Structure 1
C-alpha cells in the first residue's frame, strides 16, 4: 500500500486559492484540488467535508491573508492623506491585470453569498476605515466618515478602472484618490 502524502492545511488552501483565481469558483472541486496539490480527493473530502466547506475555508484563508497584509501596511502608513492613498494603492496592487481583476469579482460573489464570509468582509472594512480615519484626522476637522468616503472612492476607482484599464490599477487608484483629496481640500478651503 503506498504511503499517503501529508500537506498542511495552509498549503492546501493556497492551492485552492490559486485554482479559484486561475479558473474561477466553479473549478474548485475535490478532484481539481487533488490534482493541484497532490493529495487524494478522498483525503480532501475527509479534511473539508464538502465543496461548500472547502470553498469557505479557502476564502476565510484569503481573508486572513488580507487582514495580515492590511495590518502590516497600516503599521507602516503615515497618518496623513498621502499615507491613506499609499495604503490603498498597495492594497490595489494585488489585483493585477484586467483578467485577474475580473476573476476576482467572481470570487467576491462567493464572499457575498456566504454570511460568514460577508461578516469577515464587514470586519475588514471596519478596520480599514478606522486606519483611513486616522490618516485623514487632520483633514476631517473632527467630522466622522471621511475614511468611509475614501474607502468608497477607492472601490469605485477599482470598478471604473475595470471598464477602461488604460494604465496599471495602482496608477489609476493613486490618481483618482489624489483628485478626491484635492477636491476635499478645495471644498474645505472654500467653505
Structure 2
C-alpha cells in the first residue's frame, strides 16, 4: 500500500506527543514517527530538518493549543474552580502539562511556559482579587497535577481555593 503524500503537521504532532507521553523521548525518531503516521521518514526529515526540531515543533504546537484553551477557559468560567477545571481538561485532546515541561533547557519552550503561567495567574488574580494568592494557587495547582501523576491524591485544590478566597 502506498504511503500518503500529505499529512498535516498537527497529525504528525499528535502522534509524536503520544509517543513522548507513552514511551518517552528516546523512542522518538524519524523512523518511529514515520511508522506511527504513515508518512515517509524522508518526508519528515525534509519537513523538520532534525529530530530535535520535530519534537520542538510538536511541543510548540501543544503550547499554542494550551494558550487557546486558556483563553476559552478564562472567558467561560466565572469561578476559580470552574477556570481550573476547564483547564484540567481530561478529554482525549487534553494537553499533558508534564509533557510540555519535559525540557525547559530550550529557551523558547521555557519562555512559552513562563508566558502561560503569567496568563493563568492573571486569570486567577482577577477572580481572587489578589495576585499573591493567585501565584500561590497556581503553584499548588501545578504541584497537585504533578503529584497526581505520581499517585498522590491527598491534596484537595478546592480546599486551598476556599482558604484563599
TM range (shorter): 0.7 to 0.9
The within-5 A match list for 1:127-142 is 127-137=119-129, 140=130
TM-score by length of 1: 0.74
Give the C-alpha shift of residue 165 in structure 1. Answer: 4.2
> Are residue 86 (structure 1) and residue 92 (structure 2) matched?
no
The within-5 A match list for 1:35-114 is 35-78=35-78, 83-94=79-90, 105=98, 108-110=101-103, 112-114=104-106
Q: Quote the residue 2:159 is aligned against.
A: 179
Give the C-alpha shift of residue 162 in structure 1. Answer: 3.8
Q: 1: CA distance between counterparts of 2:9 and 2:113?
A: 22
SS in structure 2 at match of 1:113: coil
Do 1:48 and 1:54's aligned partners in 2 also have CA atoms closer than 8 Å?
A: yes
Give the C-alpha shift of residue 94 in structure 1. Answer: 3.2
Give the C-alpha shift of residue 19 in structure 1. Answer: 1.6
Find 1:151's aligned residue among 138, 144, 154: 138
Gapped runs of 5+ residues in structure 1? 167-171, 186-191
Cα deviation digits, residues 87-117 of structure 1 (max 9, x gap): 2123234399xxxx7xx6465222x121110
Q: Quote the residue 2:33 is aligned against.
A: 33
TM-score by length of 2: 0.85
Of structures 1 and 2, the one scoring higher in RCO (CA 8 A, sep 6+) is 1
SS in structure 2 at match of 1:5: coil
Q: Quote the residue 1:169 is aligned against.
A: none
Q: As a proportion of its length, which structure holds more helix? A: 1
Is 3-12 or 33-42 further displaced after alignment?
3-12
Distance 1:163 1:23, change over 3 A: closer
Do 1:20 and 1:107's aligned partners in 2 also have CA atoms closer than 8 Å?
A: no
Gapped runs of 5+ residues in structure 2? none
